[in-house]
Amino acid sequence: MTDINACQAAPEAEFNDYIALLKPRVMSLVVFTAFVGLWVAPVDVHPFLAFCSVLFIALGGGASGALNMWYDSDIDAVMRRTQSRPIPAGRVQRGEALAVGLALAGLSVMMLGLVANWFAALFLAFTIFFYAVVYTIWLKRWTPQNIVIGGAAGAFPPMIGWACATGGVSIESLLMFALIFFWTPPHFWALALFMRDDYKEAGVPMLTVTHGRPVTRRHIFAYTLVLAPFSLWLGFTSVGGALYLAVAVVLNAAFVRGGWQILRRSEEAARADDFAVEKRVFKLSLTYLFLHFLALLGQNWLGAW
């Protein structure tokens, strides 16, 4: 009987566990923003090449997710939200995650170079390096500003998409970067205010823990103010137009108002209604980013300036 029980004690991975290593939910954001960046660029790309480009950008994002799970498996084992991930649950070995991450990183960069161009491929390689090494290994455990700088990794995909089409960087792609870059901190800190995560035990410096919740509220409001001009500026570039500007004005007004409400609330009031405002602003932040990029697509369809 012992050998049968041994099998049950160490569950083997199924295919879905390797898919889970690639963080499919994060990937959906990467796919959408990279696609928009590629599609609104002024150079026409063959639809199949566009599909392949987005696919390999997403695969690169998945590779950095696997590398993140490899390095952070100790944190993931401590925090309740992440305990069921494949490595802490014991279904995938750490070394396997590292191997999957490195192999997919190499494959995605090489294939993007062959599909699109080598500038875009290098850009993807840099993004994977930035997320896996600069964010995960270096900043995440060291500074409460980890979210801010790590947000850059999530902001690169539309720039890579744009680079796939044009082979370069321009003001439009930089502003799409800025849009996601300055959106990440208020989005994540709103989540941190109502998700009582065990970051302290895991040893991750979170702004809510290191500097307190009132400071986090001020930061959220400040970032919504910084974000708004970049969002509107994008409307005056070659990818912008009346539709995009209308959407951007409405969304930024709502987001700044949400940031203001978060700033004005006391902890007692927040706890009394179970963080209703914080939860609403977090949901709004998801809509905010999705509608911005959807508006860029719509504007491209209608014809930009």
Partner 1 sequence: MQLRVEHELHGRRRSRNVGLGIVLIAFVALVFALTVVKVRQGHMLEAFDHQPRLSLLPAEEPAEPAPNPSQEAAE
- Residue 260 in tokens: 């203001």
Q: For the chain, how are helix, strand and coil distributed in percent, rounded to 5?
A: 80, 0, 20
CA distance 173 to 131: 19
Q: Contact between 1 and partner 1 (CB under 8 A)?
A: yes
DSSP string, 245-303: HHHHHHHHHHHHHHHHHHHH--HHHHHHTTTHHHHHHHHHHHHHHHHHHHHHHHHHHH-
Q: Tell me the residue length of the chain.
A: 305
**Are 279 and 194 a contacting pair, CB within 8 Å?**
yes
Q: Contact between 13 and partner 1 (CB under 8 A)?
A: yes
Which of 2, 3, 7, 25 is in the footprint of partner 1 by CB under 8 A? 7
Q: Give whichever of 11 and 229 is closer to partner 1, judged by the CB atom.
A: 11
Please give the angle made by the CA atoms of 272, 273 and 276, to the nearest 5 degrees.
140
**Are 220 and 256 a contacting pair, CB within 8 Å?**
no
**Are 117 and 163 a contacting pair, CB within 8 Å?**
yes
Q: Considering only 1-9, 20-28, 149-157, 224-232, which stretch makes contact with partner 1 by CB under 8 A?
A: 1-9
Q: Give whichever of 52 and 190 is closer to partner 1, judged by the CB atom.
A: 52
CB 259, min distance to partner 1, A: 43
Which of 14, 201, 267, 273 is in the footprint of partner 1 by CB under 8 A? 14
CB 197, min distance to partner 1, A: 30
Q: Contact between 4 and partner 1 (CB under 8 A)?
A: yes
CB 111, min distance to partner 1, A: 8
CA distance 77 to 59: 25
Which of 2, 9, 12, 303 is in the footprint of partner 1 by CB under 8 A? 12
CA distances from 91 to 17, 19, 155 (A): 7, 12, 31
Site string for partner 1, 33-62 (x = CB under 8 A): -------------x-xx--x--x-------
Which of 22, 115, 163, 206 is in the footprint of partner 1 by CB under 8 A? 115
Please give the angle made by the CA atoms of 200, 187 and 171, to the nearest 5 degrees.
125
Counting residues that bind partner 1 (by CB under 8 A) gives 17
Q: Give whichever of 49 and 102 is closer to partner 1, judged by the CB atom.
A: 49
Q: Considering only 8-16, 82-90, 175-183, 266-274, which stretch makes contact with partner 1 by CB under 8 A?
A: 8-16
Residues that bind partner 1 (CB under 8 A): 1, 4, 7, 11-16, 18, 46, 48-49, 52, 55, 114-115
